[in-house]
């Protein structure tokens, strides 16, 4: 692997793990990293799915996630989890099935049985769950049945419930109020935007359009959600000031509510990047061939319409090393932006309110 990509691989690994750690710690996982900045609404389903792939770069992070799920899995919307996994091809189905199998044994999480795969196809020898750590000692039987080698899972029991005074947990706060259904996501999206029509909202929050349309019509009857017809489309909005009571966190000069960020698309693109950086056969190829593969396998259209400060819609016309450098620069900008701290530029795919 060229020095350029080797350096970037280490840089990207560190930034991705920092992003995952910060989000999980905000949800209640035990760890030493800082919490997420609070300028973006966290997406627990997208985070869980991404952690079945990207989280395997750090065994401790992966196991702290499992620990959190033992007591807090009821925050997860299983219907939405399945839809994001299917629509965005996000996460690893076999690992998700193992997690579901373990959780479904607990009386409080019987519903997770719906996420189990009736038969997991395991071809060849099982692979190490944590490639960088290998496997030593007795194998965990649940993961072995799913085709993965790792030691027995040991829960430390140090995870806690999400804190509702952190703005990043706004979606979970709304689920506590409205339940684990589309109403919570619809409200979170409306609080982060000026207005939107059902198709746009449904696409961004991971629900069917009809479900979102019905929810919006019901919310409109309350008098706190309004609609305005623009041509053939009906746009919905609310007055953020009427919902200011939800903001139980220290207020700054920024917007009252955090931004809605397309985490599913972001994590899917980071999965694609990680796969490229860890492709041993590709790394032995010429820079020209690597650049061709990067262009082919990175689906920039995932974020082409977002308002993130990285222009993914622009083509990369360079070749060889120059093209690889351009790709790396794009991801540096994205990861720097997503990891922005409290005093830095916020992550946003929306017009904050």
Residue 351's pLDDT is 31
Burial class (CB in 10 A: 0-12, 13-18, 19+), 266: buried
Residue 342's pLDDT is 35
Q: Which residues pair with 241 in a beta bridge?
A: none
Residue 339's pLDDT is 81
Contacts of 278 (CB under 8 A, 6+ apart): 9, 131
Residue 121's pLDDT is 64
Any idea which residue has 């629900």 for tokens? 207
Residue 353's pLDDT is 39
Beta-carbon-side half-sphere exposure of residue 91 (alpha carbons within 13 Å): 25
Residues 311, 298: Cα–Cα separation, whole Å = 14
The pairing of beta strand 233-238 with beta strand 225-230: antiparallel
Residue 2's pLDDT is 66
pLDDT in tens, the chain (353 residues): 667 788 899 999 999 999 999 999 999 999 988 999 899 999 999 999 999 999 999 999 999 999 999 999 999 999 999 999 999 999 999 999 999 999 999 999 999 999 987 555 666 789 999 988 877 789 999 999 999 999 999 999 999 999 999 999 999 999 999 999 999 999 999 999 999 999 999 999 999 999 999 999 999 999 999 999 988 889 999 988 899 999 998 877 667 899 999 999 999 999 999 999 999 999 888 999 999 999 999 998 888 767 677 777 778 888 999 999 999 999 999 999 998 543 344 333 333 33
Show the tokens assigned to 333.
């900008």
Residue 154's pLDDT is 94
CA 55, chain centre distance (Å): 11
Element (H, E) at 33: none
Residues 181, 133: Cα–Cα separation, whole Å = 39
CB 100 within 8 A of CB 118: no
Residue 349's pLDDT is 37
């Amino acid at each position: 692997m060229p020095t350029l990509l080797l350096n970037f691989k280490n840089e990207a690994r560190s930034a991705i793990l920092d992003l995952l750690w910060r989000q999980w710690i905000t949800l209640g996982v035990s760890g030493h990293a800082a919490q997420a900045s609070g300028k973006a609404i966290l997406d627990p389903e997208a985070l869980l799915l991404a952690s079945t792939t990207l989280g395997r770069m750090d065994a401790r992070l992966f196991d702290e996630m499992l620990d959190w799920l033992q007591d807090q899995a009821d925050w997860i919307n299983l219907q939405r989890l399945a839809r994001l996994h299917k629509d965005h091809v996000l996460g690893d189905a076999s690992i998700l099935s193992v997690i579901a199998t373990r959780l479904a044994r607990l009386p409080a999480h019987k519903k997770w049985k719906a996420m189990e795969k009736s038969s997991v196809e395991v071809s060849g020898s099982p692979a190490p769950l944590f490639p960088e750590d290998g496997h030593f000692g007795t194998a965990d039987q649940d993961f072995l049945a799913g085709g993965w080698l790792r030691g027995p899972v040991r829960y430390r029991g140090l995870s806690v419930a999400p804190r509702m005074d952190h703005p990043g947990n706004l979606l979970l706060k709304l689920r506590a109020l409205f339940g684990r259904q589309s109403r919570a996501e619809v409200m979170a999206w409306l609080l982060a935007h000026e207005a939107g029509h059902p198709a746009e909202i449904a696409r961004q929050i991971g629900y069917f359009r009809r479900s979102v349309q019905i929810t919006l019509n019901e919310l409109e009857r309350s008098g706190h959600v309004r609609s305005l017809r623009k041509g053939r489309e009906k746009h919905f909005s609310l007055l953020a000031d009427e919902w200011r009571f939800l903001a139980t966190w220290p207020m700054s000069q920024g917007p009252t509510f955090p931004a809605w960020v397309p985490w599913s698309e972001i994590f899917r693109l980071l999965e694609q990047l990680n796969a490229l950086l860890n492709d041993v056969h590709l790394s032995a190829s010429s820079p020209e061939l690597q650049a061709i593969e990067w262009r082919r396998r990175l689906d920039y259209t995932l974020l082409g319409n977002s308002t993130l400060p990285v222009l993914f819609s622009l083509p990369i016309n360079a070749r060889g090393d120059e093209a690889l450098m351009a790709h790396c620069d794009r991801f540096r900008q994205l990861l720097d932006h997503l990891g922005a701290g409290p005093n830095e530029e916020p992550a946003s795919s929306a017009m904050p309110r």
